[in-house]
């Protein structure tokens, strides 16, 4: 008898998307619960008292938080369509690149999208360099995981619709076919794969969401001046 | 000719290198230690860790791995028949990884904030650090170590705290860990520093102190520039 799987998430979050992609890839049925982050449910606060954030995976009533921790749990619990190789060194390399994405690529890209002036230019350069580093790692492979989607591909899912939308909202260009052709091709391949496309939020709604966020930030700034 | 054996590229000032040494020694793995002059990095280091150019780097049979937490997990998987560092049960493993991440994100970054700020901001950083340690203390429960009766993954990841936090306290002249407020963490610190492995691998405190003081001075002078 299979134990119940629930995912507490937010449709705008690429971290939550990671968890859903992994579950879909492995054919694990789950119940998705959308959280309003301005009004967090008592269940979420009970399941993730330390960070009070999404995503949280609850398996048979036991909660796990932090998307990368959740991905590794999913991998160890449901063995179908593995997202990590068997070989310890190759597993270590996958974890290395996942860490690079989480600690360097994503936060610096995020900061570059919301900053201004000199700082923004500096962060944009750093972002482009990070993407080039990722691209060199991808090289001629179809996916970071090889022939099939792996942990690193799932960690990099923000490079799909999120990056496209956020660049449009910020009015800057960081990632595109011209600058990173191999990575761009990967993003399209990734986005069109079966397990991924059902998990991605609709682009136009994501655009409205982040446009509203940017307007809210500008209004706050104007109010402070 | 293939490169056999285990090499660790490190530096005595780095608490991250120590993590790897603890893991190797707990598992009884023989290794060659290669000291890196961080102001004049060797071609080998730059070749083995081109992305970050940092220590530690573990090279096992010619294959390099970087990032201390990734290296420690690799050691656990590659030498799995003796002294497990992580639990085998997937849920307990996820819990372990969650707390290791908490230590990295809250405690490690928090301690840098404490070291690099002044005045009110520094006091605020100290308060946040104490809150993080209080949260972490909850995970210790009644155990001697985070790993239970013996040192485990979280102890290794958090193992910089006993000596480095002590040094930070001395440098800034503010007590971060009060025994009445953090009784379990205080007890863990005593037990950890009392462990033979930790005593044997402790770097020369004066050198590390001098290095930490230099870090603080650099940050302060950058602020007033």
Domain ranges of chain A: 5-77, 88-206
On the question of pLDDT at A190 being above 80, the answer is yes
Closest CA to A193 of A24, A31, A14: A24
Split at pLDDT 50, 70, 90, the class of A153 is: very high
Contact list in A for residue B73 (CB cut-off 8 A) is 91-92, 95
Q: What is the distance of C-alpha A213 from the center of its chain?
A: 18
pLDDT over threshold 60, residue A120: yes
Averaged pLDDT, A57-71: 98
Can you read off the two tokens belonging to residue A124?
């944009």
Please report the pLDDT score of residue B1 as a whole number.
39
Instruction: Decide if A126 contacts A100 (C-beta within 8 A).
Output: no
Task: Return per-residue pLDDT of chain B as tens, 225 residues.
Answer: 346 799 999 999 999 999 999 999 999 999 999 999 999 999 999 999 999 999 999 999 999 999 999 999 999 999 999 999 999 999 999 999 999 999 999 999 999 999 999 999 999 999 999 999 999 999 998 899 999 999 999 999 999 999 999 999 999 999 999 999 999 999 999 999 999 999 999 999 999 999 999 999 998 898 776
| A5-77 and A88-206 in the same fold | no
Task: Average the pLDDT over A111-124 and give the result.
Answer: 94
pLDDT at B220: 87
Residue A54: other Cβ atoms inside 10 A = 23
Look at chain B and count its residues: 225
pLDDT band of residue A220 (cuts 50, 70, 90) is confident
> A5-77, which class in CATH?
alpha beta
As a whole number of angstroms, the distance between CA A150 and CA A145 comes to 4
Closest-CA distance of chain B to residue A205, Å: 32
d(CA A197, nearest CA chain B) in Å: 27
Interface with B, mutate which of A62, A66, A88 (most B CBs under 10 A)? A88
Res. A221 pLDDT band, cuts 50 70 90: confident
CA distances from B204 to A85, B46, B157, B166, B207 (A): 40, 26, 20, 14, 6
Give the model's pLDDT for residue A225: 61
Query: Which residue among A69, A73, A77 sits closest to B101, beta carbon to beta carbon?
Result: A69
Question: Taking CA atoms, what residue in B is nearest to A89?
Answer: B74
Q: What is the model's pLDDT at position B225?
A: 66
> What pLDDT score does A217 carry?
84
Let me know: does A38 contact A56? Beta carbons within 8 Å.
no
Is the CB of B27 inside 8 Å of chain A's CB atoms?
no
Q: What is the distance in angstroms between the Cα of A91 and the nearest Cα belonging to chain B?
A: 8
B79 touches chain A (CB under 8 A): no
Q: How far apart are CA A182 and CA A186, in angstroms?
A: 6
* Closest alpha carbon within chain A to B132: A50
The three-class DSSP label of residue A56 is strand
The residue whose two tokens read 């099939």 is A148
CA distance A170 to B115: 34
For residue B145, what are the β-bridge partners?
A: B148
CATH class of A88-206: mainly alpha
* Distance from C-alpha of A56 to C-alpha of A33, rounded to nearest angstrom: 10
User: What pLDDT sits at residue B142?
Assistant: 84
Nearest by CB: B66 against A62, A68, A96: A96
Contact between residue A84 and residue A91 where contact means Cβ atoms under 8 Å apart: yes
Distance to chain A for B91, nearest Cα, Å: 7
Q: Tell me which chain A residues have a C-beta less than 8 angstroms from the C-beta of B154.
A: none
A130, closest residue in chain B (CA to CA): B51
Helix (H) or strand (E) holding B63: strand B63-66
- This prediction has a pTM of 0.95
The answer to whether the beta carbons of residues B116 and B161 sit under 8 Å apart is: no
pLDDT grade for A32, boundaries at 50, 70 and 90: very high
Residues in chain A with CB shorter than 8 Å from the CB of B70 are 92, 95-96, 99
Average pLDDT taken over every residue of chain A? 95
| DSSP annotation of A146 | B
Contact with chain A for residue B131, Cβ under 8 A: no
Length of chain A counted residue by residue: 225
Nearest Cα to Cα of residue B126 among B161, B167, B175: B175
């Amino acid at each position: 008898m299979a134990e119940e799987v629930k995912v507490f998430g937010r449709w705008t979050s690429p971290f939550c998307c990671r968890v859903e992609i992994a579950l879909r890839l492995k054919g694990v049925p789950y119940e998705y619960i959308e959280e309003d982050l301005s009004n967090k449910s008592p269940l979420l606060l009970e399941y993730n008292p330390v960070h009070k954030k999404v995503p949280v995976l609850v398996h048979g009533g036991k909660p796990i938080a932090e998307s990368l921790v959740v991905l590794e749990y999913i991998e160890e619990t449901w063995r179908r369509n593995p997202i990590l190789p068997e070989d310890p060194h190759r597993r270590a390399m996958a974890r290395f690149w996942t860490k690079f994405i989480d600690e360097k690529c994503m936060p610096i890209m995020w900061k570059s999208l919301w900053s201004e002036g000199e700082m923004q230019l500096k962060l944009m350069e750093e972002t482009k360099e990070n993407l080039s580093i990722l691209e060199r790692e991808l090289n001629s492979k179809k996916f970071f995981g090889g022939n099939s989607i792996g942990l690193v591909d799932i960690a990099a899912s923000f490079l799909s619709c999120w990056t496209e939308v956020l660049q449009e909202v910020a009015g800057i260009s960081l990632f595109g076919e011209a600058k990173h052709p191999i990575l761009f091709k990967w993003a399209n391949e990734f986005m069109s794969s079966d397990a991924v496309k059902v998990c991605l939020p609709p682009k136009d709604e994501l655009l409205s969401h982040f446009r509203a966020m940017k307007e809210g930030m500008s209004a706050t700034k104007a109010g402070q001046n | 000719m293939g490169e056999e054996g285990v090499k660790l590229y490190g530096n005595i000032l780095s608490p991250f290198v120590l993590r790897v040494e603890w893991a190797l020694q707990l598992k009884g793995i023989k290794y060659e230690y290669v000291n890196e002059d961080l102001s004049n990095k060797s071609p080998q280091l730059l070749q083995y860790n081109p992305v970050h150019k940092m220590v530690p780097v573990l090279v096992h049979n010619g294959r390099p791995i970087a990032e201390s937490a990734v290296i420690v997990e690799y050691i656990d998987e590659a030498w799995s028949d003796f002294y497990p560092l992580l639990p085998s049960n997937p849920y307990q493993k996820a819990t372990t990884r969650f707390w290791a991440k908490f230590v990295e994100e809250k405690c490690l970054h928090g301690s840098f904030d404490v070291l690099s700020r002044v005045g009110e901001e520094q006091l605020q950083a100290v308060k946040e650090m104490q809150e993080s340690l209080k949260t972490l203390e909850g995970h210790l429960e009644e155990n001697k170590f985070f790993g239970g009766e013996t040192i485990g993954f979280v102890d290794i990841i958090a193992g910089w705290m006993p000596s480095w936090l002590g040094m930070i306290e001395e440098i800034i002249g503010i007590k971060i860990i009060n025994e009445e407020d953090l009784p379990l963490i205080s007890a863990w610190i005593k037990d950890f520093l009392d462990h033979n492995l930790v005593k044997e691998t402790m770097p020369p405190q004066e050198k590390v102190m001098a290095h930490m003081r230099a870090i603080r001075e650099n940050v302060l002078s950058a602020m007033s520039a």
